[in-house]
Amino acid sequence: MTNQKKTLHMNTVYSYAVSYEAATGIRCAVIDSKGNELHHGNIPCELCDKLRETPEFREKCTRNHLYGAYQAERFGGKYVFFCHMGLAHFISPVTEDGVVKGALLAGPIILSNDEELTPEDIIGNNTFGKQLLRYKSNFKQVPMVSTSRTEALSDILYTVALFLSLGTSTKYEADRQFNDMQGKINEYIVSLKKEEKENEIDPYPFEKEKELVTYITMGNITQAKRVLNEIFGHIFFSSGKNFNIIKARVLELVVVLSRAAVEGGGDMKEIFGMNYVFFNDINQLNTVEELTEWLTKIMTRFTDCVFDLTDIKHVDVLYRSLNYINNNYMKKITLEEVASYSYLSPTYFSRIFKEEMKCTFNAYVNKVRIEMSKKLLSDDQLSLAEISELVGYEDQSYFSKVFKKMTGVSPGKYRESKGRVYKTPNER
């Protein structure tokens, strides 16, 4: 009896999306590999439907979906991202023989642990600003979900997508790709040995390097991997298996890769920030196998930078960071911590944040803390020292200084006035 190869049927994917909705109460759509919706989901979202009536928002939605699917593929099969509306979605790709055929897309939701969050609060942080006020009533219909429940919902969606996917498992596929890469490097080394007997081998394949640069600037990951394997094989062969020499050549190659990504349209500051991280990582590698895998991942990251979704990426980073700040303002928060949460270098994250929010990272954190302290000041049972600590300030005097700078009065005076609005010194 012959084994008949299973085929992925999208109707089956649609039915599981409906089941996910019924079990969770969260809308679940199905998109194709280009970000287009194949199945809209049975739970209506009037906000999304109204916004998608305009070509501008419809295109942004498609690009947001594509970005989410692309990130999920990179980060282990699941990803939570924010759209231009500041609403969260979670997504998991469905694959056939390791190739993405579509994805399960759940959401939108309002990701927040603050049950008192209002539509005005969401719109206030939105990049589209006041033009969304006419949709205020539609925002109220979007479910609010806590961080912990969102993680659980994302895990369940990932499990469903994994069940629907056909072919090798994620781990098996990763192992297969690594072994395949090692095999191609070894094949190239064998061919070099044969060539050495007939002709003199160049100490470094500059022509291959030029070819690699071309493929990276084009964002062609498949051909870039092929050429990278050949270059690495050449480095290994010509180094006499000296690991320190191999490592030095690889570091030089990383510089070439980063410049190629910049030429391909990647953001220079982001890429050079990644270089700093990569150069620190290489010191932890002790074998040629580890170095090979590390270099392949770096090339993939640099090629990702050429992928033209920069505007969508910035929106996701912005809302991801705002959500993190709003959920952690009561603790000590550093720019480095939030940048790491957003998968960016601190320098690049700081620039994006300032460009999008029109204020520095620290200024925004202070704004969130002071706004929350205003609510707490209405509770006479709390002392100023307690309020200062509850909103993340270790020093009460510093809290008072920041409060007065932002509101025009001290916390004590604000409490006495029962929260009457004061203008800041700059507004008087």
Q: What integer is the mean pLDDT of 263-289? A: 69
Give 220-237 pLDDT, tens digit per residue.
Answer: 667 777 887 788 777 877
209 and 134, same structural domain?
A: no
Alpha carbon of 387 to those of 117, 308, 358, 367, 416: distances in Å?
Answer: 20, 45, 28, 15, 15
Closest alpha carbon to 339 in 385, 293, 276, 394: 276
pLDDT value, residue 15: 95
For residues 299 and 334, membership in a common domain is answered with no
Q: What is the mean pLDDT of residues 213-217?
A: 72
Same structural domain, 123 and 50? yes
- Confidence bin at 305 (pLDDT 50/70/90): low
In a domain, 426, yes or no: no
The pairing of strands 99-111 and 144-145 is: parallel
In a domain, 423, yes or no: no
- The verdict on 386 and 319 lying in the same domain is yes
Residue pLDDT, tens place only, 73-107? 877 789 999 887 778 999 999 988 777 889 999 99
**Residue 212 binned pLDDT confidence (cut-offs 50, 70, 90):** confident
Q: Which of 101, 133, 164 is the last residue of a domain?
A: 164
- What's the rounded mean pLDDT across residues 28-43? 90
CA distances from 47 to 58, 146, 302 (A): 12, 20, 36
Same domain membership, residue 176 and residue 159: no
Rounded CA gap, 171 and 177, in Å? 10
Among candidate residues 288, 306, 324, the one where a domain is terminated: 306
Whether 202 is covered by a domain: the verdict is yes
The answer as to whether 4 is a domain residue is no
Mean pLDDT score, 289-315: 68
Whether residues 339 and 390 share a domain: the answer is yes
CA end-to-end span of the chain, whole Å?
87
Which tokens hold the place of 297?
Answer: 């991942």
The domain spanning residue 135 has which CATH number? 3.30.450
| Whether residue 385 is found in the same domain as residue 250 | no
- For the entire predicted model, the pTM comes to 0.55
408, part of any domain: yes
Q: Clarify whether residues 35 and 81 are in a common domain.
A: yes
Does the pLDDT value for residue 313 go beyond 90? Answer: no
Total domain count, the chain = 3
| Same-domain status, 201 and 325 | no
* Pick from 8-22, 80-94, 173-187, 374-388: least confident: 173-187
**Which tokens in the block code for residue 427?**
């507004």
Asked whether residue 280 falls in the same domain as residue 320, the answer is: no
Q: What CATH number does residue 362 fall under? A: 1.10.10.60
Mean pLDDT over the full length of the chain: 78
Domain membership of residue 116 as a residue range: 10-164
Res 111 pLDDT > 70: yes
Asked, for residue 349, whether it belongs to a domain, the answer is yes
Last residue of a domain, one of 284, 306, 328: 306
Task: Over range 330-344, report the average pLDDT.
Answer: 87
Task: List all residues 6 or more positions away from 115 whose beta carbon is below 8 Å from its beta carbon.
Answer: 144
Most confident of 260-264, 313-317, 383-387: 383-387
Mean pLDDT, rounded, for 41-65? 84
pLDDT at position 109 is: 93
What pLDDT, on a 0 to 100 scale, did the predictor assign at position 203? 56
Residue 287 has pLDDT above 50, yes or no: yes
pLDDT in tens, 152-191: 999 999 999 999 998 755 543 554 454 555 555 455 445 5
Neighbours of 83 (CB within 10 A): 24
Map residue 111 onto helix, strand or coil.
strand
If asked whether residues 187 and 144 sit together in one domain, one would say no
Q: Round to whole Å and give the CA distance between 286 and 260.
A: 27
Q: Is residue 251 part of a domain?
A: yes
Residues 296 and 325 in one domain: no
pLDDT at 119 over 70: no
